[in-house]
């Protein structure tokens, strides 16, 4: 049997990639325009929705133009020093900084510079380095996967704010779960983040998924569409359903059982563990009202609209609920309804 083309690994560019051309272009166009319309974007969405893959897509697009330098930073380390260090580890840039008399010896970085005192403030150092790169038409994109509000992240964001005010060609692209991004945005000192654009990851296109399944499993159109709909466009589900169907050769009961188990073990249990008691109660109400009608859910839970709304909004922001149809809500994730019914009140 040929090798399974579907991938169960998170954070890695899959062989079977469904295009997110729209959301990719939204970011690359803003970064590329002169002057840029935005220098920062934050990608949010539930686990497995495809945040890391989208970020990789964006960096791949930008890197086609050699003026773009992409640097990935870890929010658990000193990000400013890491950025300076990664920039000066490229030979061409180290030579450029040397020629521009930027003495980085205080940080143990760069090439030797004579007759110029070492810079001792990292923000000053970065400002000078970026200015030198700017003169050569370079643009620097910093990526942070799974941003959390760590001291290093807050320090970096605050320096970023100052550097872009100096019109330096610095860009920032972050991914994160809604709660983590929200916490970072609400830091009082980082007001600019509050206004920074967020990309809420959307489901993959069902027609494109169907075309993919049709091709790989030799299905007819209705069969392929039926199979695609089972994923609800959830990225991880697209891979998992494809993977087990490939393993079994055909979409049968066993595949569906493996599919459900895999989604639950790798994502839903974690999502569930992170929900508050009230979120879970609301989720239970939603799962128990198959029509999805909000009035029915409220009746079931015996709560008022003003109690219901804040939770509804939060679950939508987290990417768990779809509230596009007025008066209705639905879970975005496939089989999540059933998972909630099976797990609510399990440990009471
Ligand atoms: N555009 C896409 N097309 C097909 N599969 C995708 C796409 N984006 C993500 N995936 C798959 O979904 C899973 C989760 O993707 P990932 O980017 O790691 O999610 P997140 O970072 O949001 O947790 C992986 O198995 C990945 O291969
Ligand atoms: Mg990720």
Structural domains in the chain plus CATH codes: 21-200 (3.40.50.300), 206-272 (no CATH), 275-343 (1.10.10.10)
10 lines ligand 1 (CB under 6 A): yes
49 lines ligand 1 (CB under 6 A): yes
DSSP string, 57-88: HHHHHHHTSTTEEEEE--TTS-HHHHHHHHHH
**Positions in the chain short of pLDDT 50:** none
The whole-number pLDDT of residue 306 equals: 87
**Who contacts 218 (Cβ-Cβ below 8 Å, separation ≥6)?**
none
DSSP 328: B
pTM of the model: 0.94
Percent pLDDT > 70 in the chain is: 99
Q: Where are the beta strands (DSSP E) in the chain?
A: 40-44, 68-72, 139-144, 170-176, 198-200, 321-322, 330-331
The whole-number pLDDT of residue 191 equals: 85
The whole-number pLDDT of residue 1 equals: 64
Q: Residues with beta carbon < 5 A to ion ligand 2? A: 11, 52
The whole-number pLDDT of residue 189 equals: 85
User: CA-based diameter of the chain, in Å?
Assistant: 77
Ligand 1 atom closest to Cα of residue 9: 25
Pairing of strands 68-72, 40-44: unpaired
DSSP 106: G
């Amino acid at each position: 049997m040929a090798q399974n083309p579907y991938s169960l690994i998170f954070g890695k560019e899959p062989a079977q990639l469904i295009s997110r051309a729209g959301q990719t272009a939204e970011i690359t166009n803003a970064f590329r325009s002169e002057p840029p319309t935005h220098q920062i974007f934050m990608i949010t969405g539930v686990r497995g929705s495809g945040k890391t893959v989208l970020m990789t897509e964006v960096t791949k697009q930008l890197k086609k133009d050699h003026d773009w330098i992409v640097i990935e930073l870890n929010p658990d380390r000193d990000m400013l020093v890491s950025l300076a260090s990664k920039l000066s580890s490229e030979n061409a840039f180290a030579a450029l900084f040397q020629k521009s008399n930027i003495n980085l010896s205080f940080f143990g970085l760069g090439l030797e510079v004579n007759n110029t005192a070492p810079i001792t403030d990292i923000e000053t150092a970065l400002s000078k380095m970026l200015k030198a790169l700017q003169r050569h038409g370079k643009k620097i994109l910093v990526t942070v996967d799974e941003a959390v509000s760590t001291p290093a992240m807050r320090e970096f964001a605050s320096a970023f704010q100052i550097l872009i005010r100096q019109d330096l060609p610095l860009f920032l692209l972050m991914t994160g779960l809604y709660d983590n991004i929200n916490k970072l945005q609400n830091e009082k000192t980082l007001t600019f983040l509050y206004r920074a654009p967020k990309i809420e990851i959307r489901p993959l296109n069902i027609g494109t998924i169907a075309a993919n399944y049709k091709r790989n499993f030799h299905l007819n159109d209705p069969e392929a569409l039926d199979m695609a709909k089972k994923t609800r466009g959830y990225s991880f589900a697209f891979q998992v359903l494809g993977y087990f169907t490939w393993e079994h050769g055909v979409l049968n009961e066993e595949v569906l059982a493996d599919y459900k188990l895999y989604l639950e073990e790798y994502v839903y249990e974690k999502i569930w563990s992170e929900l508050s008691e009230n979120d879970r109660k609301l989720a239970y109400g939603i799962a128990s009202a198959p029509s999805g009608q909000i009035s029915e859910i409220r009746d079931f839970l015996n709560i008022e609209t003003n109690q219901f709304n804040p939770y509804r909004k939060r679950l939508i922001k987290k990417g768990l609920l779809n509230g596009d149809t007025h008066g209705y809500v639905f879970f975005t994730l496939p089989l999540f309804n059933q998972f909630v019914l099976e797990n609510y009140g399990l440990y009471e």
